Amino acid sequence: MGMTMTQKILAAHAGLKEVEAGQLIEADLDIVLGNDITAPVAIQEMEKIKKKQVFHKDKIALVPDHFTPNKDIKSAQNCKCLREFAKEHDITNYFEIGEMGIEHALLPEKGLVVAGEAVIGADSHTCTYGALGAFSTGVGSTDMAAGMVTGKAWFKVPAALKFELTGCPGKWVSGKDIILHIIGLIGVDGALYRSMEFVGDGIKNLSMDDRFTMANMAIEAGAKNGIFPVDEKTIAYMEEHSKKEYKVYEADEDADYEKTYPIDLSKIRPTVAFPHLPENTRTIDEVGEVEIQQVIIGSCTNGRIEDLRAAAKVLEGRKVKKGMRVIIFPATQDIYLQAMEEGLLSTFIKAGAAVSTPTCGPCLGGHMGILAQGERAVATTNRNFVGRMGHVESEIYLASPAVAAASAVTGRISGPEELGL
């Protein structure tokens, strides 16, 4: 039996000719990632290990992004822990305020991850890098600690699900709508510890930003990872951003998939996930009248330049509804600068939105956008669990940047088509 794309990468990093689903392996790592919430715990665990040195100073990335700019004394202490550790171990890839970004947008932009690599991060959305044809997955802080010391990690080789994408997405349909559609189809445990492998002619109609969004939310279906084949767009992105050598792996024709899901992109409509799970999806035609008080556009899922362009296209020449709070978070400093140079930030501010420095803050209910009791928000983030963005009696509706921007104008969940776009 042949191997899937994920299985081939894992086999290569384990020094094996082949692996099969369910097999336990020890694999070499190309990058170990941590942030200001998870890395301090890993550093504390590392202190318990006799060998105190990191395995490779260039293969560890530390990005304080969750509670930064520091929201309180505890978050400041956490960032100080990262800063001192990075200095002590001469960590190359430490990104502080002013040069940082949200980790899963920053690492591809900095060229730290390329096709064929194996990456772990002490953050569940580390699966983002599958968009580049890499195996990447989230782990706990203790696994991060072991990875920083040994450069290795244990894995159970995942079985795989195939998502065969055909057709071309319609106007205002983005990667966010596609992955929400898929999660609505299979459920939040539909890919539990599986590899979500995206294939098919439809992939050529998806931008890299679309693919990053889709791979990012593979974890919301319970997946171990999500992964895309490497094509001309992938190669162009890597060559623009990275000097690292990459390796292309392709699934065997006789690779074993537990199930195949045909996805016709042309039939997908703008999609919204209602509270309190990403699987609770409805198309924009089915949402009804849902008034909102806040809109969040950004995050590791949808804070890239195409996301901001889509939001700006909707908000151009319009005003957000009076009393509506709209907060926009470019995912990295470079994206922030590009948005400024393209005039997008001017569009947002003139429309009545606030623009923030890159941070994960509102996505996890950390800071800069906490919801009060009874409030509702449309967010381009990745999770809408109970209390995720504030009070346990608040509600989060997940949507694309275009839908979020249109909703900001009307004060209720709306699609751009409602504005005549």
DSSP H helix total and E strand total for the chain: 13, 18
Q: What pLDDT digit, counting tens, does each position of 136-178 carry?
A: 999 999 999 999 999 999 999 999 999 999 999 999 999 999 9
Across 342-381, b (16+ Cβ under 10 Å) vs e yields eebbebbeebbbebbbbbbbbbbbbbbbebeeebbbbbbb
* Vertex 174 angle, CA 228 and 111, to 5°: 45
Q: What pLDDT digit, counting tens, does each position of 106-143 carry?
A: 999 999 999 999 999 999 999 999 999 999 999 999 99
Determine the Cα–Cα distance for residues 134 and 128; give it in Å rounded to an integer.
Answer: 9
pLDDT on residue 232: 96
Residue 26, phi then psi, degrees to nearest 5: -115, 120
**Has residue 50 got a pLDDT over 80?**
no
Q: What pLDDT digit, counting tens, does each position of 343-388 carry?
A: 999 999 999 999 999 998 888 888 899 999 999 999 999 999 989 9
Examine residue 276 and say whether the peptide bond preceding it is cis (omega within 30 degrees of 0).
yes
Tokens 């195996």 identify what position? 135
pLDDT on residue 361: 86
Q: What is the DSSP string of 100-130?
A: -B-HHHHHHHTT---TT-EEEESSGGGGGGG
Determine the Cα–Cα distance for residues 362 and 370; give it in Å rounded to an integer.
Answer: 6
pLDDT on residue 294: 96
Predicted TM-score of the model (pTM): 0.95
Q: pLDDT grade, residue 264 (50/70/90)?
A: very high
Please give the domain boundaries of the chain with CATH numbers for all domains. Answer: 5-264 (3.30.499.10), 272-416 (3.30.499.10)
What mean pLDDT do residues 215-221 have?
A: 97
pLDDT on residue 334: 95
Q: pLDDT grade, residue 47 (50/70/90)?
A: confident
Extract the annotated binding site: 300, 360, 363
Q: What pLDDT digit, counting tens, does each position of 390-417 carry?
A: 999 999 999 999 999 999 999 999 999 9
Output the six-digit token pair for 148: 């920083």
pLDDT on residue 26: 97
What mean pLDDT do residues 216-245 have?
A: 97
What mean pLDDT do residues 204-233 have?
A: 97
Of 17-21, 44-48, 276-280, 291-295, where does mean pLDDT reach its minimum? 44-48
pLDDT on residue 365: 85
**Has residue 72 got a pLDDT over 80?**
yes
pLDDT on residue 1: 76
**Average pLDDT of the chain, as a whole number:** 95
pLDDT on residue 362: 85
**Has residue 206 got a pLDDT over 90?**
yes
Strands (E) across 323-394 are located at 325-328, 354-355, 376-379
Extract the annotated binding site for [4Fe-4S] cluster: 300, 360, 363
What mean pLDDT do residues 65-70 have?
A: 89
pLDDT on residue 99: 84
**Has residue 52 got a pLDDT over 80?**
no
Strands (E) across 228-383 are located at 259-264, 271-273, 281-283, 294-297, 325-328, 354-355, 376-379
